[in-house]
Amino acid sequence: MHLIGGAEVDSPTHFLSRNSSNLDDILAEFPEATREQVRLACQTARNAAQAWRRTPAPVRGEIIGNIGAAIAREKEALSRLVTREMGKTLKEARGDVQEAIDTCHFFQSEGRRLYGQTVPSEMPNKDLFTYRRPLGVAAIITAGNFPIAVPSWKIIPALLTGNTIVWKPSEDCPVSSYAFARLMEEAGLPAGVLNVVFGGGREAAGQFLVDMLDEGLLNKIAFTGSTAVGRQIGAAAGRNLIHPTLELGGKNPLVVMRDADLDNALAGALWASFGTGGQRCTSAGNLIIDAPIYTEFKRRFLAMAKDIKIGDPLAHPEVLYGPFINERFFKSWERHYEVGQSDGAKLLYGKGRITRTSKPRGFVGDPEAAYFGWPTIWEARRGMKIFQNECFGPTINLVKVNGIDEAIETANSVDYGLSSAIYTNNRDWAWQFKERIQAGMTSINNSTTGAEAHLPFGGVKGSGNGTRESGIWVLESYTYWQAVNDDVSGKLQLAQMDTDYITPRIAVDVAALG
């Protein structure tokens, strides 16, 4: 059911949530929101906005703490639900849920630190202040690959700062999203502060929610998803003078220099390439390898890839990755084989969909119960489409370069700028990389993936619009600054015009002093 104003609301049409690892296993049936229901959710959020913004920030922070405690209590059950619904390993699902808990812990205390400033005035008997104020109603649209963590990055700070919310979660993970929303309600959110509408994106609930910008029912919109859709949302927000939060795609470079600890670099590269089946916006897209170690790296990386265990993560906890989240993602990924071949890239390993007659030696279980993809490795060159475009699946390119300058130039030659990484023990090379790389996030001797709840998350170029999630930086996305001028002089004082500036008593001839 949709959750609108504290009530459960049904719709005329429905869709199914399935186990990503076993498509015959139906988890639940969910309503597909109509345009009228999305509009009602926005109006309900607007009606709740004034009372919620007047709730003292420390009290809102205590509710955030209650949310964190409720999630922690249900961590294992929620993690297993995430694994069943979207297919990531149980270890990863627990990390997904833990990040939401960490986010609540961080922002609970921020309810006592929504600081403004006192500013000295140039006039007597006058005080100047600044205050953070909530924007109003925030629309939030999230993807299915992190069904708990990523929504928490948006919802928790938006609530803490006094905004009300209409959330359209991914249609790929409605059960996990519903459970998360009910835990937030349990924590003490007043009716109408958090509203949840379910359904698809294009020509469905997601599009209807974006359309509410033009109806004047929203003051903020935050989106995680593809760059193409992000551009459309950015255009709609722009014509309504609303600053959106856009967390978009990536083609993330992982550089391995000739002096790197190769064992560490190989472990990081394998995880960055194939963890979550490559279905992370921060997954590595190009492994940029320094020429003197290229042959050895390729040999060992291929050998490791051939030993990857793949399958249903609930039935086989030892697997590195599970299925595609849905058929749509699989078919989009499958098309990259044609792109790579037409580009002239060299296919080193991978055969598309895993089937009973075509499966790697590490596959366990029934490959045709869902959509599983071979780990796929290409040799590619800068400028190829497969080098430039996000594949969003278990695919990685090996790219040979010679030296730090070519490595950085190659890393920067894509249209994205989300995450990046370098493996090197040369501190000058590490310094050059973090100074010159065009990315919102950079790791040194670590993977491209992995975010902590108190660091800013976001990208540049095609990966976002400069906004950041997480940590204190996200507060800028859900508040505006109010400047207050409090004059107790009892008379009109005009800044810059009535200011009693001090004038020098004498003019000094400096030349004469010499």
**What is the rounded CA–CA span in Å between residue 499 and residue 495?**
6
- Beta strand 416-417 pairing with 460-461: antiparallel
Could you give the strand order of the β-sheet that contains 395-401, starting from the edge strand earlier in sequence?
346-349, 376-379, 395-401, 284-290, 252-256, 419-423, 441-444
Q: Which residues of 375-400 are buried (b: 16+ CB within 10 A; e: fewer)?
A: bbbbbbebebebbbbbbbbbbbbbbb
392 near 279, Cβ under 8 Å? yes
**What is the rounded CA–CA span in Å between residue 501 and residue 391?**
63
Query: Which residues are known catalytic residues?
Result: 247, 281
**What is the rounded CA–CA span in Å between residue 265 and residue 363?**
24
Which residues are within 8 A (CB) of 275 and not within 5 positions of it... i.e. 6 or more apart?
A: 92, 283, 320, 321, 447, 449
CA distances in angstroms from 17 to 3, 177, 199, 247, listed in the order given:
17, 11, 11, 25
Which residues are within 8 A (CB) of 37 and not within 5 positions of it... i.e. 6 or more apart?
A: 2, 4, 9, 11, 197
Q: Which of 268, 333, 276, 277 is nearest to 304 (CA)?
A: 268
Q: Where are the alpha helices (DSSP H) in 240-290?
A: 262-274
Residue 117 is encoded by which pair of tokens? 């400033």
**What is the rounded CA–CA span in Å between residue 514 and residue 504?**
21
Displacement of CA 451 from its chain's centroid (Å): 10
